[in-house]
């Protein structure tokens, strides 16, 4: 069944110039494998299609049960140039947690 | 063990935090991180208007307020409050808190050396875009190298009460006391990496003690009295993150992990002036109430290059808002947006971009937000940027007329027309490490 990513993970996002990164962290160690399987760079790029003009890279941090997404050309020029109210990408982590992921029914019920 | 506390995550952070850190429990070092890239551009504008400015102006009065308690409790201060004018900053601290011994770290400011660097084959291509520096050479307003923790440790070794730096790596503020007190060497890669990672965790202040934390934020005990972070650093490179007992934040695996992942790229290669830190080596454990312990951290040798942050005059921008009420709030805001765009087009003005957001609908989360067919109100926000100040100025005059000439129920224009702001943009580049020479000056 499908659940929002927010059910199994938390996140934080920020900026470096026109790059925004999102750290996504599983609340429970056993759910890290679900993150790795479901939250791919391709899906994140599609999720943010409207904002992210460049590539999306994914890095794995199994020690923190976490993934780091680095999204290029994500902030309308970034820093002082951007015209977006959220020029630093502070809310993109929360936006990513809206993503629907597929989990086995037994997992979703716990 | 030494205790290093961070009382400021950016210029504009909570003014009470540094005072409370010193009053509410034992610490050895108080670090204050004032400089974000956006801050550097603000400082640049201030120095342009007045050559005696260009530093974090909150810092000297703070030192005056705290001078006595710093002395009484033997707390040393390290702050990058110097911005692009550390000498002026030190003079003002001297004037307001004459009993404090001050050391300044100089050498990060390379504005006057750009041509020398170019002549010596330092291309300073834009790290992000690969473009050559010639594109902006005549528009450069500041250039600062990110210096590491060793010059800061050297400044602490003078016995100064207050160490003032300009542009250093943020996390170097936390690493420097460890180098100073534990006598870590320049090739102690694992321990330097641990110090940098401790610094990274605390450099945004309360953002590792419950502030801006998505995980279970409703149950952060007391945001109003949130504790700022303290690193308890050991000689062997292990450390704990905590807050003073009785303060209102939370330090657990979730709050610390969120901050570890904040504003990083490749976690195996977090490049700093002193070491390449490996975030995948960190082992975290809850070691008590509001206490997370970190062990196992590894690092790799530093690179031959230092990052230089160059600022340049890009152009101008402005943003303004109007609010529309239901019914048809979103439809009204969309019509208003189209009217402004049509009028700007009729004027024949050129912009690099005109950007529109609809607050209350999808401004922050775009298409990922759930549909909201009939919002009770919508705030229209329009921004424009360009190289022609006059065009941007004219844009600021096109919002308020909508109240009488556009769709009904436009309001919320009480702040008047938006102001035009100069855009100072950033050009990140690299130079060979040997080009940068730092020095420490003491003001008795």
Predicted confidence (pLDDT) per residue in B213-237, tens digit: 999 999 999 999 999 999 999 999 9
On whether both B224 and B193 belong to a single domain, the answer is yes
B369 touches chain A (CB under 8 A): yes
B154 touches chain A (CB under 8 A): no
* Residue B96 falls inside a structural domain: yes
Q: What average pLDDT does range A60-71 have in this prediction?
A: 98
- CA of A40 vs chain B CAs: smallest distance (Å): 16
* Residue B132 falls inside a structural domain: no
B260 touches chain A (CB under 8 A): yes
The verdict on ipTM greater than 0.95 is yes
On whether both B209 and B276 belong to a single domain, the answer is yes
Domain boundaries, chain A: 2-109
Q: Which residue has the tokens 């000689």?
A: B235
B262 touches chain A (CB under 8 A): yes
A89 touches chain B (CB under 8 A): no
On whether both B187 and B226 belong to a single domain, the answer is yes
Q: What average pLDDT does range B173-178 have in this prediction?
A: 98
Q: What average pLDDT does range B420-433 have in this prediction?
A: 95
Give dist(CA A65, CA A84) in Å, integer.
31
On whether both B323 and B187 belong to a single domain, the answer is no
- Please state, rounded to an integer, the average pLDDT across all residues of chain A: 95
* Residue B116 falls inside a structural domain: no
Q: Report how far apart, in Å, the C-alpha atoms of B388 and of each of A82, B137, B421, B422 are.
A: 17, 19, 12, 11
Query: Closest to B264 (Cβ–Cβ): which among A11, A25, A68?
Result: A68
Q: Report how far apart, in Å, the C-alpha atoms of A15 and of each of A19, A70, B244, B370 are.
A: 6, 9, 30, 24
On whether both B276 and B378 belong to a single domain, the answer is no
A41 touches chain B (CB under 8 A): no
Contact B129, A17 (CB under 8 A): no
Give dist(CA B431, CA B154) in Å, integer.
23
On whether both B338 and B317 belong to a single domain, the answer is yes
Among the three residues B278, B303, B328, which one is the final residue of a domain in this structure?
Answer: B303
- CA of B402 vs chain A CAs: smallest distance (Å): 21
B10 touches chain A (CB under 8 A): no
* Residue B137 falls inside a structural domain: no
Which residues have C-beta within 8 Å of that of residue B70, sequence separation ≥ 6? Answer: B22, B30, B63, B76, B77, B100, B161, B162
pLDDT at site B373:
86
Closest-CA residue of chain A to B212:
A12
On whether both B287 and B322 belong to a single domain, the answer is no
- Does A63 have pLDDT greater than 70? yes
pLDDT at site A104:
87
pLDDT at site B414:
81
Confidence of residue B44 (pLDDT cuts 50, 70, 90): confident
Which domain covers residue B392, as residue numbers? 312-424
CB contact under 8 A, A83 and B319: yes
A86 touches chain B (CB under 8 A): yes
- CA of B117 vs chain A CAs: smallest distance (Å): 24
Query: Closest to B254 (Cβ–Cβ): which among A10, A16, A49?
Result: A10
**Total number of domains constituting chain B:** 2
On whether both B181 and B249 belong to a single domain, the answer is yes
On whether both B184 and B63 belong to a single domain, the answer is yes
Q: Helices B172-182 and B189-202: crossing angle, nearest 10°?
A: 140
Confidence of residue B41 (pLDDT cuts 50, 70, 90): confident
From chain A, the residues in CB contact with B38 under 8 A are 79-80
- Does B361 have pLDDT greater than 60? yes
- CA of B417 vs chain A CAs: smallest distance (Å): 17
Give dist(CA B172, CA B150) in Å, integer.
8
Give dist(CA B378, CA B333) in Å, integer.
7
B217 touches chain A (CB under 8 A): no
Give pTM, 2 decimals: 0.97
CB contact under 8 A, A50 and B215: no
What values do phi and psi take at B201, rounded to 5? -65, -40
Among the three residues B247, B274, B303, which one is the final residue of a domain in this structure?
Answer: B303
Tokens of B392: 């941007």
Query: Closest to A10 (Cβ–Cβ): which among B258, B268, B364?
Result: B258
CB contact under 8 A, B215 and A27: yes
* Residue B274 falls inside a structural domain: yes
Tokens of A17: 């110039």
* Residue B41 falls inside a structural domain: yes
């Amino acid at each position: 069944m499908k659940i929002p990513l927010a059910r199994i993970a938390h996140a934080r996002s920020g900026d470096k110039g026109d790059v925004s990164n999102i750290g996504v962290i599983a609340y429970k160690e056993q759910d890290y494998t679900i993150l790795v399987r479901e939250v791919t760079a391709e899906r994140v790029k599609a999720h943010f299609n409207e904002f992210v003009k460049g590539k999306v890279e994914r890095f794995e941090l199994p020690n923190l049960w976490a993934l780091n997404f680095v999204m290029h050309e994500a902030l309308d020029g970034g820093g002082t140039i951007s015209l977006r109210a959220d020029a630093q990408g502070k809310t993109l982590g929360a936006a990513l947690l809206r993503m629907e992921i597929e989990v086995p029914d037994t997992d979703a019920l716990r | 063990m030494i205790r290093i506390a961070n009382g400021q995550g950016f210029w504009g952070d909570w003014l009470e935090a540094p005072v409370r850190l010193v009053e509410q429990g034992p610490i050895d070092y108080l670090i204050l991180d004032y400089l974000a890239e956006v801050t550097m551009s603000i400082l640049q504008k201030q120095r342009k208007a007045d050559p005696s400015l260009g530093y974090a102006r909150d810092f000297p009065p703070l030192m005056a307020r705290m001078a006595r308690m710093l002395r009484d409790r033997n707390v040393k201060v390290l702050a990058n409050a110097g911005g692009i004018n550390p000498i002026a900053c030190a003079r003002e601290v001297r004037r307001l808190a004459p009993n404090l011994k001050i050391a300044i770290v100089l050498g990060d400011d390379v504005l006057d050396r750009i041509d020398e660097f170019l002549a010596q084959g330092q291309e300073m291509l834009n790290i992000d875009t690969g473009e050559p520096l010639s594109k902006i050479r005549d528009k450069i307003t500041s250039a600062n190298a990110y210096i590491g923790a060793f010059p800061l440790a050297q400044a602490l070794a003078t016995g100064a009460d207050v160490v003032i730096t300009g542009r250093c790596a943020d996390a170097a503020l936390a690493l420097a006391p460890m180098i100073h007190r534990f006598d870590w060497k320049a090739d102690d890669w694992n321990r330097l990496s641990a110090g940098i990672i401790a610094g990274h965790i605390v450099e945004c202040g309360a953002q590792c003690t419950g502030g801006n934390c998505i995980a279970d934020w409703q149950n952060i005990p007391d945001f109003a009295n949130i504790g700022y972070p303290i690193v308890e650093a050991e000689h062997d490179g292990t450390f704990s993150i905590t807050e003073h007992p009785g303060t209102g934040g939370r330090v657990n695996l979730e709050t610390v992990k969120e901050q570890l992942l904040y504003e990083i790229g490749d976690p195996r290669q977090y490049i700093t002036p002193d070491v390449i830190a490996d975030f995948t080596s960190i082992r975290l454990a809850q070691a008590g109430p509001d206490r997370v312990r970190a062990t196992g951290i590894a690092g790799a040798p530093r690179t031959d290059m230092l990052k230089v942050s160059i600022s340049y005059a890009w152009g101008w921008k402005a943003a303004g808002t109007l609010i529309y009420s239901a019914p048809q709030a979103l439809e009204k805001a969309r019509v208003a947006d189209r009217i402004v765009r049509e009028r700007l087009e009729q004027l024949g003005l050129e912009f690099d971009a005109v950007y529109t957001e609809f607050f209350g609908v999808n401004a922050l989360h775009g298409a990922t937000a759930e549909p909201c067919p009939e919002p009770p109100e919508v705030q229209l926000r329009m921004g424009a940027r360009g190289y022609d100040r006059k065009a941007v100025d004219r844009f600021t005059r096109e919002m308020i007329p909508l109240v009488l000439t556009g769709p009904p129920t436009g309001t919320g224009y009480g702040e008047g027309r938006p102001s035009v702001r100069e855009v100072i943009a950033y050009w990140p580049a690299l130079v060979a490490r040997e080009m940068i020479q730092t020095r420490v000056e003491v003001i008795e």
